Amino acid sequence: MSDSVTGADSVRSPSESAPFFTVPVVTLIASTFLLGMSEFVIVGVLPDIAASLSVSEVDVGNLVALFALV
């Protein structure tokens, strides 16, 4: 059999394959990380925010949860 029938020309070695971390993939990874961290960082300073606004931590926590859902 010839190479064109077996498809040997279309087989790539791992070094010739397309890179996994393309611009869209890196953009999705970075945006997911940043959006996730925006809520987790706020939770760390939640008592300070509640004290400076003179409201309970529960109210601030509920507002952060509402922000995360929207």
Decide if 65 is inside a domain: yes
Residue with tokens 């961290």: 37
What is the pTM (predicted TM-score) of this model?
A: 0.50
Burial of 16: CB neighbours in 10 Å, binned 0-12, 13-18, 19+: exposed
* 7 part of a folded domain: no
In a domain, 5, yes or no: no
Contacts (Cβ under 8 Å, ≥6 apart) of 46:
57, 60, 61, 64
pLDDT, tens digit (0-9, with 9 covering 90-100), for 12-55: 666 667 788 899 999 999 999 998 887 788 888 999 999 999 99
Rounded to whole angstroms, the Cα distance separating 54 from 24 reads 43
Residue 65 domain boundaries: 21-69
Looking at the structure of the chain, the number of domains it has is 1
